[in-house]
């Protein structure tokens, strides 16, 4: 388990504003600006609906492929340069995407973009883990999740406006501008952290394979719960719109309900961090999994906009409770000498759940129905919660209660 920094008493959340939280908002704005635009731009370049879907999927595939290599690169470059280069790479790829001559070129660039996102996210996670003491890490990580939510809420508005005014390519240029601002901010504000020399046994004895072997009990317990959580989070993006449509709601009504759930999600993120630091990580992780699971278990009972809205709020509360929980658990469990590499494997598990979610939902819907897929997803969430309750040790263990500051 990671050792808390020795400068713990001097840490304040406000110290991460310029180095982490502002760049996270900027990066989220850029990400939010292009996510809805990518399939539309692929169609404009002549892609069929199926090919456009594959172009969108290339981002998630890129994240999966680059998760573990990113851990190795972050360990070699250091947090500061990895964060700066990751965001700068996204900006460069976004500029290239704006000038894509064909759907194939766009798909390749979106794939690389997904890898750059993985690179940046892992470097940011490693940096916050290094800077924050364990008894304040929950709030530090939940703020990261919250700032990303703020950015991705603003981004689609900006992306939609510039795309309508100047063309779809302009959304990618907006992403590039946001990425360059984030990169410049971190270059000026992030201080490179000191690392203890890498333990020889880890460096020589199998690299990533050795890390997986040495930490297999964590990956087979907490890691499975993280996969379940990733699946549920992705299911939220799929089930709510499709179920709203299946009960006869129009697009505007579905959008309003979805926005209400997203607002509740955003409101809960900081209290989640306080819960993690005061009572423990499992006090946030278990309610998150259980509440999301409950929402999907009862979703087939929604037959009008009111019951649908209540379930959307329940799901929003559950997702909000999990703000930063995957990052916090990863930082807590990571052995400090090889933390970056461990976090690369950890992110691979999380991204596997998110990437596999739509595939599983599609298969279950084809075999049965949308309601069956929703209930089955809820059941997987219950399984993830049970593993977290009974098989995962609480990482937050202190000799004295935390001293809470205002940030």
Q: Cβ distance 169 to 34 under 8 Å?
A: no
Question: Between vectors from CA 44 to CA 43 and to CA 50, what angle results, nearest 5°?
Answer: 10
Which of 191, 215, 250 lies at the terminal end of a domain, its last residue?
Answer: 191
Find the helix or strand (DSSP H, E) in which 109 lies.
Answer: helix 103-131
Residue 49 shares a structural domain with residue 100: yes
Please list, in sequence order, all residues whose beta carbon lies within 8 angstroms of the beta carbon of residue 75, skipping any fewer than 6 positions away: 198, 338, 339, 340, 341
If you write DSSP's letter for every residue of 57-112 in order, what string do you get? HHHHHHHHHHHHHHHHHHHHH-HHHHHHHHHHHHHHHHHHHHT-SSHHHHHHHHHH
Is residue 65 in some structural domain?
yes
Question: Would the pLDDT of 30 be above 50?
Answer: yes
Residue 359 shares a structural domain with residue 304: yes
If you write DSSP's letter for every residue of 20-59 in order, what string do you get? IIHHHHHHHHHHHHHTTHHHHHHHHTT--HHHHHHHHHHH
Q: How many CA atoms lie within 13 A of 175 on its CB side?
A: 34
Residue 261 shares a structural domain with residue 158: no
Copy the structure tokens of residue 52. 């456009």
* Residue whose C-alpha is closest to residue 227's, from 102, 113, 64: 64
Q: What is the pTM of this model?
A: 0.82
* 19 DSSP 8-state letter: I
Residue 48 shares a structural domain with residue 127: yes
Question: Would the pLDDT of 1 be above 50?
Answer: no
Residue 184 shares a structural domain with residue 261: no
Is residue 218 in some structural domain?
yes
Which of 132, 157, 191 lies at the terminal end of a domain, its last residue?
Answer: 191
Which of 191, 222, 257 lies at the terminal end of a domain, its last residue?
Answer: 191
Is residue 406 in some structural domain?
no
**pLDDT tens column, 77-131:** 888 898 999 999 999 999 999 999 999 999 999 999 999 988 888 999 999 988 8
Residue 24 shares a structural domain with residue 170: yes
Is residue 4 in some structural domain?
no
For residue 151, CA distances in Å to 69, 257, 274 come to 26, 20, 22
Residue 274: which CATH number? 1.20.1250.20
* Residues present in the chain in total: 407
Q: How far apart are CA 94 and CA 170, in angstroms?
A: 10
Is residue 1 in some structural domain?
no
Q: Which residues of 169-180 are buried (b: 16+ CB within 10 A; e: fewer)?
A: bbbbbbbbbbbb
* Residue whose C-alpha is closest to residue 395's, from 130, 70, 60, 4: 4
Residue 182 shares a structural domain with residue 268: no
* Confidence grade of residue 399 (pLDDT, cut at 50, 70, 90): very low
Residue 97 shares a structural domain with residue 66: yes
Surface-to-core class of residue 283, CB atoms within 10 Å of its CB (0-12 exposed, 13-18 middle, 19+ buried):
middle
Question: Between vectors from CA 132 to CA 29 and to CA 282, what angle results, nearest 5°?
Answer: 85
Residue 105 shares a structural domain with residue 244: no
* Residue whose C-alpha is closest to residue 275's, from 225, 239, 323: 323
- Percentage of residues in the chain with pLDDT exceeding 90? 43
- The count of structural domains within the chain is 2
Residue 184 shares a structural domain with residue 225: no
Q: Which residue has the tokens 């990066």?
A: 27
Is residue 175 in some structural domain?
yes
Range of the domain at 114: 10-191
pLDDT of residue 250: 82
Q: How far apart are CA 275 and CA 284, in angstroms?
A: 6
Residue 244 shares a structural domain with residue 185: no
**pLDDT tens column, 286-333:** 999 999 999 999 999 999 999 999 999 999 999 988 888 999 999 999
Is residue 5 in some structural domain?
no
pLDDT of residue 199: 43
Is residue 356 in some structural domain?
yes
Residue 158 shares a structural domain with residue 230: no
Largest CA distance in the chain: 62
């Amino acid at each position: 388990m990671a050792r808390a920094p020795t400068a713990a008493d001097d840490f304040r959340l406000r110290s991460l504003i310029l180095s982490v939280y502002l760049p996270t908002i900027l990066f989220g704005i850029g990400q939010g600006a292009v996510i809805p635009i990518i399939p539309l731009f692929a169609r404009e370049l002549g892609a069929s609906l199926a090919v456009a879907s594959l172009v969108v999927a290339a981002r998630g595939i890129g994240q999966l492929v680059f998760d573990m290599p990113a851990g190795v690169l972050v360990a070699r470059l250091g947090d500061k340069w990895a964060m700066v280069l990751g965001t700068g790479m996204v900006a460069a790829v976004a500029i290239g995407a704006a000038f894509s001559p064909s759907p194939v070129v766009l798909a390749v660039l979106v794939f690389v973009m997904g890898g750059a996102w993985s690179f940046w996210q892992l470097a940011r996670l490693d940096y916050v883990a290094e800077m924050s003491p364990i008894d304040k890490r929950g709030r530090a990580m939940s703020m990261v999740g919250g700032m990303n939510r703020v950015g991705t809420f603003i981004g689609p508005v900006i992306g939609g406006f510039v795309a309508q005014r100047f063309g779809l390519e302009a959304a990618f240029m907006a992403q590039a501008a946001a990425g360059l601002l984030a990169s410049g901010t971190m270059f000026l504000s992030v201080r490179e952290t000191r690392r203890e020399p890498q333990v020889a046994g880890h460096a020589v004895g199998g690299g990533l394979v050795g890390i997986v072997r040495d930490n297999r009990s964590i990956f087979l317990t907490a890691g499975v719960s993280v996969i379940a959580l990733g699946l549920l989070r992705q299911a939220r993006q799929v089930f709510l719109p499709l179920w709203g449509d299946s009960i006869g709601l129009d697009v505007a009504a579905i959008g309003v309900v979805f926005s209400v759930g997203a607002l509740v999600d955003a409101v809960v993120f900081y209290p989640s961090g306080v819960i993690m630091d005061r009572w423990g990580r499992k006090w946030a992780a278990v309610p998150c999994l259980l509440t999301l699971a409950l929402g999907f278990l009862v979703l087939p009972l929604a037959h009008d906009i009111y019951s649908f809205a209540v379930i959307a709020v329940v799901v929003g509360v559950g997702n909000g409770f999990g703000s930063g929980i995957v990052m916090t658990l990863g930082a807590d469990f990571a052995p400090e000498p090889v933390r970056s590499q461990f976090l690369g494997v950890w992110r691979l598990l999380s991204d596997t759940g998110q990437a596999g979610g739509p595939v599983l939902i599609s298969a279950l819907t084809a075999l049965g129905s949308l309601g069956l897929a929703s209930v089955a997803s809820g059941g997987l969430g219950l399984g993830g919660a049970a593993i977290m309750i009974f098989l995962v040790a609480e990482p937050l263990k202190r000799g004295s209660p935390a001293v809470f500051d205002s940030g």
